[in-house]
Amino acid sequence: MYPSKTYKVRPLYSVLYQVCSELLSDKKNILLKSLLIQQLGVDRTQELSLFSFNQLITKMVHDLKGNLDRSSYPEVKDNVFNQDRFKSILTEFTDLHGPSSVLTHITFRVEEEVVNTIAALKHKTLGDVIELAIANYIVSCEDDIYKLILQALYSYQE
């Protein structure tokens, strides 16, 4: 097991990561699995059993790095945060919970290579890299996953 590494992110990103992690978990609980089967069918639900909590951030960081290998950090950031998908999520979350500048902690256990990649991608803070990786994943995920993320945000209460 790898040592834990904690990052500070805004609450929206903590919630988004939790939702993505649960949707894509390779170990879904019975209730979530049943609800997904009702909405998506058995085959698609099985296809979404992809990652553990920590494997998902590894994929998100890897995907972000791929984008940053082709474009600059400011270009990728502008592109991601100006996508309609992300604007919808931000609007929905802000409408329900108001804007927040308070940071929350999110902890992962990932290989040192991933920790080093996050540090290398840092533009301002390490948390910014995590936030951009999560947002980048959401704007590029499949439509059914995106719709489920939105659905979870509609009914999310702190």
Listed by start position, the domains of the chain span: 4-154
Mean pLDDT of 1-7: 91
Contact call for residues 119 and 126 (beta carbons, < 8 A): yes
Segment 120-156, tens digit of pLDDT: 999 899 999 999 999 999 999 999 999 999 988 887 7
pTM: 0.93
Lowest mean pLDDT segment, chosen from 37-41, 86-90, 95-99, 128-132: 95-99
* Unique residue bearing structure tokens 């998100």: 60
Tokens of 101: 């500048």
How far does CA 101 lie from the centroid of its chain? 18
